[in-house]
Amino acid sequence: MTAASQSHRYSDIPSSRRPASTGTNALAPIAIIGAGPAGLLLARFFERSRIAYTVFERDQGPEIRSGSGTLDVRPITGQLALKQAGLLDRFNALARHGVSTTIVDAQANVLLNAGGKEDKERPEIDRRDLQRLLQEAVPLDKVVWGSKVETVSRAADGVMTIHMADQTTLSGFRLVIGADGAWSKVRPLLTPAVPQYSGIVFYTTYVQPDDAGYPVADSLAQQGNYLAMSGTRKIFLHYLSDRSYFLSVGLDVAEGQSDKSSLQNGAVLWESLLKDKFQDWTPKLVDLVRQSDGAFRAWPLYNLPVEAVASQWTSVQGVTLVGDAAHLTVPTGDGVNNALFDSLELATQITEHGIDRLDDAVAEYEKPMLVRARAAIEKGHWTAEKLFGPGAPHSFFRAMGVDM
């Protein structure tokens, strides 16, 4: 048997890559799958409560991923979780307060202005800045980088085993927490549901201050959010902390239609996928795409079905989910807030119940989480129809009671 195919227990993880025991209760380890916001905030709470844990992350190191935009963090969910973790002051130092949002049509006619200096309730932060904040809040030797999880299994005696893509297995965990996002490898233990394609893909890139299109982007968005919509077609700009803009182009395409050759720059993307769909849009907007020199990234939008957290969910001792792993939706503004709040709620239950009553802690966490998850997924399907569907943005305005 080769070393890669041998089964290893928790104690076989190199000591530099696993938590030290912090008392009798810390001998039963917890595994967190995923070092995104939900997983790292959980680790932060466990660190402060001296609860032993290990985070497994598929990325090779703590470098911040590219291809991300902005997040608005809400007071009673995301901000509350950060406050309880002792991170709110650091968040406020990085966040932008009073960010404006402008919604326009395909000819750049303004339909709605919202937010602005008076809106102090929903500060925005770059996703990469939030990720960096959370990484800095957790000892990075508690994260096992380059750990691509293939599956997770549960033995008859309740012992959890993590199966890596390189054929390595780690067993002995009493609780495995799936914080591994849309395509969670932990989710199948709890529900057979899989993400459903919304029909919409966004192609994303950055407009840098020295790019030819930057003056136009800056004049339109004015260091805020600028959302151009006509049915399923979208061109969005989001201002980032380094003065660049996150540019995303959305449209309805068949699943898997994009290939890397069409994403190398804006001119190629325009000719291969966008020209026929955006030919009636004002040049001021489409030139932002056509003149982009950087590569684009395809971001297809998915929702979990409501049944995932309703009729198809079966609680299993030794495993649970947080964030998108539990309640994936298209962007609604709630995703990271729900994820951070999940982590607060789960960490609170584990701290209160203690490591010897993990199953009771998870049961108490899942009761309200599944209610929240159902509401989140239902909102995701509503948003897919009203904001990303063929009637947008007017279908969204009507549903929200906005008088146009």
pLDDT computed for residue 403 by the predictor = 73
Distance CA 327, CA 304 (A): 6
- The pLDDT of residue 350 is above 60: yes
pLDDT of 4 over the 70 cut: no
Mean pLDDT, the chain, whole residue set = 91
Is pTM beyond 0.95? Reply is no
Q: Is the pLDDT of residue 22 over 90?
A: no
Cα–Cα distance for residue pair 36/346, rounded to 1 Å: 16
Q: Residue 120: its pLDDT value, please?
A: 75
At 67 the pLDDT is 59
pLDDT, tens digit, 9 for 90 and up, residues 275-303:
999 999 999 999 999 999 999 999 999 99
Alpha carbons 46 and 54: distance in angstroms, whole number: 10
- pLDDT exceeds 50 at position 16: no
Reduced to 3 states (helix: H, G, I; strand: E, B; else coil), residue 64 is coil
Tell me: the pLDDT tens digits for 193-251? Answer: 999 999 999 999 999 999 999 999 999 999 999 999 999 999 999 999 999 999 999 99
303 C-beta neighbours (distance < 10 Å), count: 24
Of residues 401 and 341, the one with the higher pLDDT is: 341
Residue 315 has pLDDT above 60, yes or no: yes
Q: What is the mean pLDDT of residues 139-160?
A: 92
Name, in order, each residue with C-beta under 8 angstroms of 84's C-beta and a sequence gap of 6 or more: 45, 344
Residue 3 pLDDT exceeds 80: no
The band of 141, judged by pLDDT with boundaries at 50, 70 and 90, is confident
Smallest CA-to-CA distance from 116 within 98, 104, 102 is with 98
Mean pLDDT to the nearest integer, 338-350: 98
Contact yes or no for 62/143 (Cβ under 8 A): yes
Q: How confident is the model at residue 261 (pLDDT cuts 50, 70, 90)?
A: confident
Residue 29 pLDDT exceeds 70: yes
For residues 324 and 380, what is the distance between their CA atoms, to the nearest angstrom? 12
DSSP state of 1: -
50: tokens are 């001296």
Sign of the four-CA dihedral 247, 251, 253, 255: positive
Going by C-alpha positions, the residue among 348, 205, 321, 184 that lies closest to residue 265 is 205
DSSP character for 118?
T
3-state SS, residue 282: coil
Four-residue CA torsion sign, 382, 385, 386, 387: positive
> Which phi and psi (to 5°) does residue 227 adopt?
-120, 105
pLDDT category, 2, cuts 50, 70, 90?
very low
Tell me the average pLDDT across 35-42.
Answer: 97
Residue 394 has pLDDT above 50, yes or no: yes
**DSSP H or E run through 307:** none
Higher pLDDT, 136 or 261: 136
Separation CA 202–CA 296 (nearest Å): 10
Q: Which domains does the chain have, with CATH numbers?
A: 3-66+130-194+305-386 (3.50.50.60), 196-303 (3.30.9.30)
- HSE, side-chain direction, 13 A CA sphere, residue 242: 13
